[in-house]
Structure 1
Amino acid sequence: MTRVAFITHGRPGQVGDGVERLMGVARDAGVELIVGPDEAARHGLEPHGDPFDAELVVVLGGDGTMLRALRTFLGTRIPVIGVNFGRVGFLSSMQPDELEVGLVRAFRGELEVVRLPTIELENGDAAHIAVNDVVVTSGELGRMVELEWAVGGEDLGSIPCDGIICSTPSGSTAYNLSNGGPVLMWGIDAMATTFVAPHSLHARPLVVPRGKDVVVWNRTPDVPVVVLVDGHRVGEAPPGGRVTVRLGDAHTLLATLPDATFVSRYRAGFST
C-alpha cells in the first residue's frame, strides 16, 4: 500500500489516540495518509489528498462507522478495513490493542477482500441501495400492520406483524439477528427476510437467492408503513402501497486480515 485514507467514529473522543497511532504506523511504513475534509475538521488536521485516490480505507469506529465507510466507497475498487472502537465490531478485523500490528500487516498487503452484496429498493418512483438492510415497519408506534408478501412472483400470504427485515449477509448479524433471523456467512449471494414480532405461528425467516424479487404490500387499511434503508427513513408506503427489494448489482469490498475470519468473529461475538 502507498496511499491510505481513513474514516472515524462521529464522536472524536470515541477513538482516543487512534488517529495519532494510525498516523505513526503510516509514517513508519512509508504510506501516504490521505486526510479528507470531514476527518480534517473532526480531528483538527489539514486536509490532504483525495480519499477516492486511496488504495485502502481504514475505519476507526464500530459497525456503524464501517457501514458509513462501505456506503461511501460503494462502486469504487477501494476496500475498507476496520479497527473496532465500538461495541460489537463484527465487521472489524482488529481490536484497538492490535492496531499497530494489524495495520502494519494490512499495509504490507496481507489482506483478503470479501465482496458483499447490496440490496436495491424500489418504493414508488424512489430507488435506494442498502448495504445492511431494508426494513418495512409500522408508521405508528405500537400499531400492528398487515403485510402481504411475494417472492419471485409467487404469493406467500399476509402476516400481521410489526414489520419485515430484508438483510444482506453483512447486515444479517444486525437487526435481523436480534429478531431471530438467520446469519448468512460472507460469500453467500442471498438475502434474509425476517418478520418483526409476527402475530402468527407460520411466519418463518426465509433466505432468498439472487434473481428473486421480494414484494411487500401494506394491507393495513388505516396505517402507513415506514421504509428504512440502513436505519435511515427514506419513505413510506400508504395503505395499498408496495415496496420491492432485490439483491443489487453493486458490491461492497470488506478487507480483512487472513486470520480474522467470519467464523472467528462469529465465535468471539455471539457464541460466548
Structure 2
Amino acid sequence: MHRVGIIANPARPVVAGLIPELVRLVTSRSGKPTLAADLAASASEAVARGECVVVDSDERAVEGVDWVIAIGGDGTLLKTARLVGASGTPILGVNSGKLGFMMQTTPGDLGDALGRVFDGRYTLDKRLVLEGRIANDVFSALNDIVIDKGAICRVIELGIYINDEYVNDVMADGLIVSTPTGSTAYSLAAGGPILAPDMEAIVVSPICPHTLSNRAMVLAARDRIRIEVRADHPDLLLTVDGQENVVIQPGSTVELYRADHTIHLIRFTDRSFYDVLRTKLKWGER
C-alpha cells in the first residue's frame, strides 16, 4: 500500500473542492492518504470511513510516506521541499496557482498523473539544494537565499569571496544566490540567466547594482561562497526561499554552499523543461 502525504493550503477554495476527489483517486488505487486535520475537514466522509490518516500538522503529514502531493503554486512546493528535507521523499506538484514552474500536473489531469505514479511511469528529478550558514544557524533552500537591504532605501555593500578568494565588492540593493531550480524565480527577474535544472551550478545575481559592470555569475556547484555584509545600517534581511526571514546585522558573514542532500521531484517524460519554459514564459507567441 502506498502512503501518500498531501500538502495544500485549505483556505484556497480550489483546494477545498479538490481534496475529496484526490482522496477518492488515491484510495481507488489502494493508497492511504495522510493529511493534516485542517485539510482533512474537506474530506470528512472519507475520514469517517477510515480511508485517511489524519495528523496534527503538515510536518507529520510527510513522515513515513512513500511520496507527497503538493497542491498550489511554487510556494507550496517550496514549503513541501522544506518539510521533506533530506528524507528523499518524492514530491508531485499539482499547479492550482499562477505560474507553477516546478509543478508537474494540473487538477484537470490529476487522475492520469496519479495513475502514472502508482504504475511507476515517471522519473525523478534530483534538484540541487543550497545551504546557508550564519554563525551557528543553518538554512536550506531549493530556490534561493537572498540578502536584502530591508526597509531602508539605501544600497548595501557586500564583499564576495569564492573558495576563500576575494572576487568583488558589490554596492546593490542586495544579492541573490540561487540554485538551477531557482534560476527561473527572483534571480531571473534580477537579470540572471536561466539554467537547466539538472546543471551542477550556482548563480550569484546582484539586485539593482550601483555599477553596471556587476553582473550575475554562474559558479560551479562545488564552490563555496562567503558574503561579508558591510552595510552601515541594521536590520538587513536574509530570506530563504521567500518563506523564512532572518535579520542580519552589519559585520555578519554568510556562508553559502551546496547541501549534502537533493530534493526529488516527480516528472513525466512527455513534458520537458523547455516545454515548461515555452508555456510559462509564453515564448513563441505573437
TM-score (norm. length: structure 1)? 0.92
Of residues 48, 54, 59, the one that matches 2:53 is 48
The reply to whether residue 257 of structure 1 matches residue 268 of structure 2 is yes
| 8 Å Cα contact 2:237/2:247 also seen in 1 | yes
Change (3 A) 1:42 1:248: farther
The whole-number CA distance in structure 1 between the counterparts of 2:152 and 2:10 is 28
- Partner residue of 1:197? 208
- Partner residue of 1:103? 114
1:246 corresponds to which letter in structure 2? Y
Change (3 A) 1:52 1:222: closer
Q: 1:138-168 deviations in whole A, cap 9, x for unaligned?
A: 1333221111111122212211100000011
1:30 corresponds to which letter in structure 2? S
Shift of 1:251: 0.9
| 8 Å Cα contact 1:190/1:247 also seen in 2 | no
SS of equivalent residue, structure 1 residue 101: helix
- Partner residue of 2:220? 209
Q: Which range moves more in the overlay, 72-81 or 33-42? A: 33-42
The whole-number CA distance in structure 1 between the counterparts of 2:150 and 2:34 is 42
| 8 Å Cα contact 2:6/2:34 also seen in 1 | yes
SS of equivalent residue, structure 2 residue 278: helix
Of residues 59, 71, 75, the one that matches 1:60 is 71
Q: 1:172-230 deviations in whole A, cap 9, x for unaligned?
A: 21111111111221211221110101111211111111221111112223345311111
The whole-number CA distance in structure 2 between the counterparts of 1:68 and 1:41 is 21
- Partner residue of 1:27? 27
| 8 Å Cα contact 2:143/2:182 also seen in 1 | yes
The whole-number CA distance in structure 2 between the counterparts of 1:10 and 1:247 is 33
Change (3 A) 1:167 1:42: farther
Q: Which range moves more in the overlay, 31-40 or 173-182? A: 31-40
SS of equivalent residue, structure 1 residue 171: helix
Shift of 1:14: 3.6
1:176 corresponds to which letter in structure 2? S
1:80 corresponds to which letter in structure 2? I
1:82 corresponds to which letter in structure 2? G
2:2 corresponds to which letter in structure 1? T
SS of equivalent residue, structure 2 residue 86: coil
Change (3 A) 1:164 1:17: same
Shift of 1:2: 2.4
Of residues 91, 97, 100, the one that matches 2:102 is 91
Q: Which range moves more in the overlay, 51-60 or 227-236? A: 227-236
Once the two structures are superposed, the pairs formed by residues 1-272 of structure 1 within 5 Å of their partners are 2-37=2-37, 39-40=39-40, 46=47, 48=53, 51-272=62-283
Shift of 1:234: 4.0
2:33 corresponds to which letter in structure 1? L
| 8 Å Cα contact 2:17/2:42 also seen in 1 | no
Tell me, which stretches of 5 or more residues in structure 2 are unaligned? 55-60
2:194 corresponds to which letter in structure 1? V
Tell me, which stretches of 5 or more residues in structure 1 are unaligned? none
Change (3 A) 1:220 1:124: same
Change (3 A) 1:224 1:23: closer
The whole-number CA distance in structure 2 between the counterparts of 1:269 and 1:62 is 13
Across the two proteins, how many residue pairs are aligned to each other? 272
SS of equivalent residue, structure 1 residue 222: coil
SS of equivalent residue, structure 2 residue 19: helix
Shift of 1:56: 1.4
Shift of 1:36: 3.6
2:136 corresponds to which letter in structure 1? D
The whole-number CA distance in structure 2 between the counterparts of 1:43 and 1:205 is 47
TM-score (norm. length: structure 2)? 0.87
The whole-number CA distance in structure 2 between the counterparts of 1:27 and 1:169 is 35
SS of equivalent residue, structure 2 residue 263: strand
